[in-house]
Amino acid sequence: MTSIDLADRSLDLGEWAARTPDADAEFAVAVRGWLEENLAGSFASLRGRGGPGSEHEFFTERLEWDRHLARAGWTCLGWPTRYGGRGATLAQRIIFHEEYARADAPARVNHLGEELLGPTLIEFGTDEQKQRFLPGIVDVTELWAQGYSEPGAGSDLAGVATTASPADGRWQINGQKIWTSLAHVAQWAFVLCRTEPGSTRHKGLSFLLVPLDQEGVTVRPIQQLTGTSEFNEVFFDDAVTDADNIVGEPGDGWKVAMGLLQFERGVSTLGQQVGFARELDAVTDLARSNGALDNPEIATRIARAGISLRVMRAHAPAVLDGVPGADSVGKLLWSNWHRDLGELGMAVRGASALIGPATTAEGAFNDLTDPEHVELDEWQRLYLFTRADTIYGGSNEVQRNIIAERVLGLPREARA
């Protein structure tokens, strides 16, 4: 079995994206050149750092990297120029995310603001909200967390119970959110709340922008299987936000929240697939070096992983074109593939994968982590963290229900 070539697995979106070859080729050269020139010096050690399960790695340094990108005009590419973006075409955004992943550049710390909240405010926000919040996202001076899931409302967001009521020109918020990524380093959260007493399901919800640095907000990190804590519980006890910090009208929260989720599965996920290809290549190289590739079962699993990655990539245009249900199919494809890759990595490692982790290397972690933290190797971490891939962002069961009910027209699942 030969090495899996990243270029061979690049997205074939040329005709679909209607690219202008010369202009897009120049853009790709500019992106590639800038990354090569700037991922050097103090930033060189950040290559490959961060990302799901590894958000603790060099967070302060990666934050400075994001701000370095901002100063050079490489944040918020697809936003209109009047909001501080670059006004890049869809094809250019695809190029950027793929080149960024191929350069093994560090995971971004501003994803929730740049890819989710920003486009949502551009679509649904007032002029005042855009003027107040978009500049802090563009220059990475304000970080955001997503206040959706709750102990009783994980993938089923219609079960949200956190409440917000008007009081003295502000909203007063009470309740609990959970699995809130990076809330411990964010200054703000966009929070889905129930603002109409007695309302149920999708009705009576509102989308609020809430400062986290205030009395009445408690952020409590959750230790994960990997030993790290990028997820959090967030408690609101009479926390407040200004009355104007509501996106859309009161009761429109479901529409705004669903609009945001469409942005979540956008162009940036294409770069994610390039990262998946790199991970598969690393598993293949490991299997070749330690002899595991001689095992027919391992060789077959690696081959199937390569085929499945091609299927995932072939499905990408349907997601970007907004084909009904395509985003749910895409979530099922990548999350199950990545979980299976974690299992494959451990199988390739063999018995050595069960050996306990080594002591954390000095300098690898900063103030986001416990000094007693011990580090897993890349395959152990991949295996453990990918157990969550089929849960967060909408579990397998929820995605299949969406496909069944909204695409295939099957009867709705009975609810208690």
Distance of CA 54 to the CA centre of its chain: 13
Active-site annotation holds for 397: no
| DSSP for 234-301, written as a single string | EEEEEEEEETT-EESSTTBHHHHHHHHHHHHTSTHHHHHHHHHHHHHHHHHHHHHHHSGGGSHHHHHH
Alpha-carbon distances of 211 from 63, 71, 170, 171, rounded to whole Å: 20, 25, 12, 12
Q: What residues contact residue 350 under an 8 Å CB cut-off, 6+ apart?
A: 290, 292
Q: How far is CA 293 from CA 9, 278, 279, 303, 348, in A?
A: 21, 17, 16, 11, 8
Report CA-CA distances (Å) from 222 to 175, 182, 183, 227, 388: 17, 11, 11, 9, 14
Query: Tokens representing 9?
Result: 């697995």
The answer to whether the CB of 260 falls within 8 A of the CB of 192 is: no
Beta strand 231-242 with 170-177: parallel, antiparallel or unpaired? antiparallel
* Helical segments of 357-395, H only: 378-385
Angle at 75 between CA 69 and CA 78, to 5 degrees: 155
Kind plus residue range of the DSSP H or E element containing 100: helix 90-102
d(CA 101, CA 107): 9
φ, ψ at 163 (rounded to 5°): -110, 155
Which one of the listed residues 264, 375, 378, 405 is annotated catalytic? 264
Provide the token pair at 224.
């994960």
First-to-last alpha carbon distance for the chain, in angstroms, is: 52
Unique residue bearing structure tokens 């027919």:
296
CA dihedral 248, 187, 57, 396 (to 10 degrees): -30
Active site residues: 264
